[in-house]
Structure formats: C-alpha cells, structure tokens
Homo-oligomer: A and B are copies of this chain.
C-alpha cells in the first residue's frame, strides 16, 4: 500500500513541517513541544456520528451505512486507526443497547474505550410505559419522571460495567407555547429528578448536563442556556458539570466567554464540538467560524495547568449530505479532530503571544 505517491506526500509533509518548525523557532517556540501536546489530545466519537444524519424534512442515507452498534464500533475503530485522535466512543442508550459481554469484547477488538454514556428521554421507545411527548425529567406526572430517572440510573449501571466515567444528560423538555409550561415548577421538577440521578452516581464519575436554546421545544427549553446550566451544577454538587455544545447558543453569543466563566467557577464539563451558522446546525467543527473555535481553545489552553481541569471532548456533528465513504473512513476526523488539533496547536503558539499582543492593542486593557 505504500506506493510512490504516499512517499512523495510524506516528503512534502516533512518539508512543510520543517518550514513551520523553522518559522516557530525564529519566534522562539519549540515545535516538538507543540507536537507532543497535539499528539496527546483526543476526542471521543459518538456512536451516532458514523451514520447519515437528517432533518425533519428528509434523510438521504448513504450506501452501506452501519445500522447496529457493532457496525458502528467498527467504523469508530477505523477512524481512530486512521487518525490516532479518537481513542474512545460515546454510546447512546437505548440506541446502542446490546449484551454486555458483546460490547466489552467488541470494544477490545476495535481498541476503543467507552467515554460518557448518553441517556435518551427525548424519544419514546416501544417498550416504555410512559410517553415523553410532554417532558421527561420535568414532566408533571411523577411516574413519567421516575421512569426517566430510572433510565438514567440504568445507563450509569451499564457505564459502570463497560468502564465509562460520566453520564451526559440532555432532555428535550420544554414548551411550544407560552402558558403550556410553568417555568419555575417545571424547573423544580427537573432539579428534583436530576438530584435523584446524581445520588446514583459512583464516586469517581461526573455528571454532564447540557444546555440548548431551543429545538425540539420551540418556545422554551428547560435548560436553555449556560446560566441555567450553571445553576443546576451548583445545586447538584461538585461532580456535576456543564457540557457546552457549540451550536446550542443564541445568535451572537460570545461562546468563548461562556467557556471562560464556566472554567473560572469550576463548572466546565466538556464539549460537543460542531459548528453552526443559524441554529443547531451540527455542521463540521470549525467549518463555519474557525476563528471562534480557536478562541474557545485559547481558553482551554489558558486553563490547562489548573489543578483538576479535565474537560471531556466529543465530536457531535450531523453528516446530512457529505459522502458517507469519505466521512466514515477518516473524513469526519479530518474537519473535526483535524480542526481541533490545528486549533490546539495554534493556541499553544499564540497563547504565548497573548500578553504581548494584548499590550500592543491596548497598552492598559489586558
């Protein structure tokens, strides 16, 4: 497989690398140190990220899509083989439900560990007693809330057995019309349910709660922004952290500043990386506004040496029209992990420049 064109590509890459190294050296920066940091950086791939996404209007599946969890794990393993940047996979339950022994042996076979578990109470499963049409953790009906809590506890139990160390909760609870939901009472019910889940968390686990401005609920969402998310994290306790999905914010929001605030108050749990131009578009990370991604990483690099600082990184992108072959065989890793690595490197480089540039800009405003 290593033919002439591969050898030429490697030579070109080496030449570019050396030129960059010389450039950085002229600025007093050691490229080897950056390379090591980038090499140590990894992103989880979600099991659902290797299928073709869709919109409420249509879904255009590609040929030979992975349908069940074992096919998906094969794909995720292949991406890591090609990129060496995605060493773990994040399961979504009950989409990925399977016999424990099979999951464990398959994980071993594809050399992937299991990252945070994702529960699902935003869809109805055929075997469940209570529907989530009007909410789950915040539902007015206690039995429905209990069912949703127990599903999350079951996810923790599964996760414990496959080596996960975190549970991610995102719910679709909210309302489509003013008056449909009582904001305060609904949030009280949510907090009560979340506390029950938190109580079932093993000591070495973290709970990630995720905010989202809207969709599927189109008038109000129970965890609409980082402000509410941060209140949750403060109410629940020291092991609850806020998960930041880059596409879940109001237009014009300064996301890097939100990241900085969460870091400052010890509540940044991690990321769902993607990009968006309009709503929660779930486009490839860094494809719409790469500089915004850089600025987010800038905050992460700045906080890297804070004791206990260990945010989780996951790619959460929806591939609606990109070619499935390209996407699954490294393509998804190219724009995603690639962009992330690039940003990480760039941040390291520019991070050292920060105070200088800041001074140049403002003389007094750093």
Chain B nearest Cβ from A221, distance in angstroms: 8
A97 within 8 A of partner (CB): no
CA distance A124 to B213 in the complex (A): 31
A105 within 8 A of partner (CB): no
Q: Would you mind naming 22 contact pairs between A and B with Cβ atoms under 8 Å apart?
A: A55-B216, A57-B172, A58-B122, A60-B132, A134-B363, A175-B365, A176-B320, A177-B283, A178-B298, A179-B357, A180-B321, A184-B302, A214-B281, A218-B277, A227-B227, A234-B234, A250-B251, A252-B278, A288-B291, A289-B291, A323-B361, A323-B362
In-complex Cβ contact of A362 among B57, B227, B322, B354 (8 A): B322
Number of interface residues of A (CB under 8 A): 103
Chain B nearest Cβ from A227, distance in angstroms: 3
Query: Whose C-beta in chain B lies nearest to the C-beta of A139?
Result: B364
In-complex Cβ contact of A366 among B182, B289, B366 (8 A): B182
Q: Give a binary string over A247-262; 1 marks a CB under 8 Å from any B CB, 0 the rest.
A: 0011111101110110
Q: Give a binary string over A54-90; 1 marks a CB under 8 Å from any B CB, 0 the rest.
A: 1111101000000000000000000000000000000
19 additional A-B pairs beyond A182-B366, A220-B254, beta carbons within 8 Å, are A19-B20, A58-B123, A58-B216, A179-B354, A179-B358, A184-B264, A185-B366, A214-B278, A214-B279, A218-B277, A218-B278, A219-B288, A225-B225, A225-B253, A230-B231, A231-B261, A234-B234, A278-B279, A322-B361
Asked if A365 contacts B254 (CB within 8 A), the reply is: no
Chain B residue contacts of A366, Cβ below 8 A: 140, 180-182, 185
In-complex Cβ contact of A260 among B184, B295, B321 (8 A): B184
Interface residues of A in 340-366 (CB under 8 A from B): 354, 357-358, 360-366
A16 within 8 A of partner (CB): yes
Q: Give a binary string over A9-52; 1 marks a CB under 8 Å from any B CB, 0 the rest.
A: 00010011001101100100000000000000000000000000
Asked if B124 contacts A60 (CB within 8 A), the reply is: yes
Asked if B60 contacts A178 (CB within 8 A), the reply is: no
Chain B residue contacts of A231, Cβ below 8 A: 230, 261, 265
A263 within 8 A of partner (CB): yes
Given contacts A123-B58, A214-B277, A277-B214, contact A295 B250 (CB under 8 A): no
